[in-house]
C-alpha cells in the first residue's frame, strides 16, 4: 500500500488534538503544522509521534499547502483538529488505497456537530469536502473556506468524517468577525460593487434558505440557532464590505485581532 500521511494544522487546539490524532494511528506519518500555540497542543502532538513544524499563520490555504509540502507519503489525508476519522472510515480509506484505483483524490462525507448536536439539515447534511489526495496532484485554494483543486478524477467514500465544529455561541462569535473580514475583502478583490439592498436581502435570504428551504427547522433549536447566526454572519460580512467599499475600513483594520488568534 502506498504511504499515507495525515496532515493537521493547529493553534491552541489542546481540547481537540488528542481526539483527532488518536484516530490517525493507522497513517504511516502524521504531520502537524502549528502557528504558535500557547497551550499544550505541540506537546500532545509530539506525544503521538507527529512530525511538528512551526509556521506563521497567513491564511488557511497557505498553511494547509505548507503542511502538504512537508508530507512524504504518496497519499495525503488533510484533517482539521476538530475532526475525527471513525474506524469504518479508516478501514475504507485503507481498502481504497490498497485497491489503487484511477482516482487522484477522494471526497469524504462529513457529519457536522454544531452547538453540541449533529445537524442533518440546513445545508449541513450534505457536506462532502475533498480531503484525501495524491501528493502533487492537488492544491488548496480559497480565502476562508478553502477547497482542493485536483488534477485528475475525484472519487467518493461512503463512511463519514466526524466534524465537531462550533461547540457553542461564544466560540461562534470568536470566529465570526475575522471570517467575515476575509470574505468581505475577497469581494473587494473581485471588484464587486456594494449594493445597499444586499445588506437587507442577503441576511434574510440566508435565513430562509437555511431554515425553510434546506429544512433547518427539522433540527429543532440547534437548527434555528444555526439559521439565525448564519443570517447574522451575512449581515456582518456585507456591513464590512460596505466599510471597505466606502474607504472606512482602512481606519479600523489594524485594530482587529489576527485570524490565528480566533482560529481555536
The answer to whether the beta carbons of residues 13 and 36 sit under 8 Å apart is no
Cα–Cα distance, 140 to 218 (Å, whole number): 33
Superfamily of the domain at 4-164:
Spore Coat Polysaccharide Biosynthesis Protein SpsA; Chain A (3.90.550.10)
C-alpha cell at 57: 499563520
Per-residue pLDDT of the chain in tens (264 residues, 90 and over written 9): 459 999 999 999 999 999 999 999 999 999 999 999 999 999 999 999 999 999 998 888 999 999 999 999 999 999 999 999 999 999 999 999 998 678 999 999 999 998 889 999 998 878 899 999 999 999 999 877 789 999 999 999 999 999 998 888 887 887 787 778 878 877 777 777 788 888 999 999 999 999 999 999 999 999 999 999 999 999 998 888 888 877 765 544 544 444 444 444
The answer to whether the beta carbons of residues 24 and 172 sit under 8 Å apart is no
Cα–Cα distance, 74 to 27 (Å, whole number): 12
Distances (CA, A) of 85 to 23, 26, 36, 118: 6, 10, 25, 16
- Give the pLDDT score at 78: 98
- Give the pLDDT score at 99: 85
Reference 219, options 147, 101, 132, 113; nearest CA is 113
Cα–Cα distance, 100 to 4 (Å, whole number): 12
The residues spanned by each domain of the chain are 4-164, 169-262
Cα–Cα distance, 229 to 250 (Å, whole number): 26
Chain center to CA of 58? 15
Cα–Cα distance, 126 to 156 (Å, whole number): 13
Q: Which helix (H) or strand (E) holds 69?
A: helix 60-70
Cα–Cα distance, 10 to 32 (Å, whole number): 7
User: Using DSSP, how many helices (H) and how many strands (E) does the chain show?
Assistant: 8, 13
Instruction: Confirm whether pTM is higher than 0.95.
Output: no
Distances (CA, A) of 141 to 138, 156, 237: 10, 20, 20
- Give the pLDDT score at 252: 47
Task: Note the helical H segments in 164-219.
Answer: 169-189, 198-208
The answer to whether the beta carbons of residues 138 and 149 sit under 8 Å apart is yes
Q: Quote the longest CA-to-CA distance of the chain.
A: 56
Cα–Cα distance, 6 to 246 (Å, whole number): 44
Amino acid at each position: 500500500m502506498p504511504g499515507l500521511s495525515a496532515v493537521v494544522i493547529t493553534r491552541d487546539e489542546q481540547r481537540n488534538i488528542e481526539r483527532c490524532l488518536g484516530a490517525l494511528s493507522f497513517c504511516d506519518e502524521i504531520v502537524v503544522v502549528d502557528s504558535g500555540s500557547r497551550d499544550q497542543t505541540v506537546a500532545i502532538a509530539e506525544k503521538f509521534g507527529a512530525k511538528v513544524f512551526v509556521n506563521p499563520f497567513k491564511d488557511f490555504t497557505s498553511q494547509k499547502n505548507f503542511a502538504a509540502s512537508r508530507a512524504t507519503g504518496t497519499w495525503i489525508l488533510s484533517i482539521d483538529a476538530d475532526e475525527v476519522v471513525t474506524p469504518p472510515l479508516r478501514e475504507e480509506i485503507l481498502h481504497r488505497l490498497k485497491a489503487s484505483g484511477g482516482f487522484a483524490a477522494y471526497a469524504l462525507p462529513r457529519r457536522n456537530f454544531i452547538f453540541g448536536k449533529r445537524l442533518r439539515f440546513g445545508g449541513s447534511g450534505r457536506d462532502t469536502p475533498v480531503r484525501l489526495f495524491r501528493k502533487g496532484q492537488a492544491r488548496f485554494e480559497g480565502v476562508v473556506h478553502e477547497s482542493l483543486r485536483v488534477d485528475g478524477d475525484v472519487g467518493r467514500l461512503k463512511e463519514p468524517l466526524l466534524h465537531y465544529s462550533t461547540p457553542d455561541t461564544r466560540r461562534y462569535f470568536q470566529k465570526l468577525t475575522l471570517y467575515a473580514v476575509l470574505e468581505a475583502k475577497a469581494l473587494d478583490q473581485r471588484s464587486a460593487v456594494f449594493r445597499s439592498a444586499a445588506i437587507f436581502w442577503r441576511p434574510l435570504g440566508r435565513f430562509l434558505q437555511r431554515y425553510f428551504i434546506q429544512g433547518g427547522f427539522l433540527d429543532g433549536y440547534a437548527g434555528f440557532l444555526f439559521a439565525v447566526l448564519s443570517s447574522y454572519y451575512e449581515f456582518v460580512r456585507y456591513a464590512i464590505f460596505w466599510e471597505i467599499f466606502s474607504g472606512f475600513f482602512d481606519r479600523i483594520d489594524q485594530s482587529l485581532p489576527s485570524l490565528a488568534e480566533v482560529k481555536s
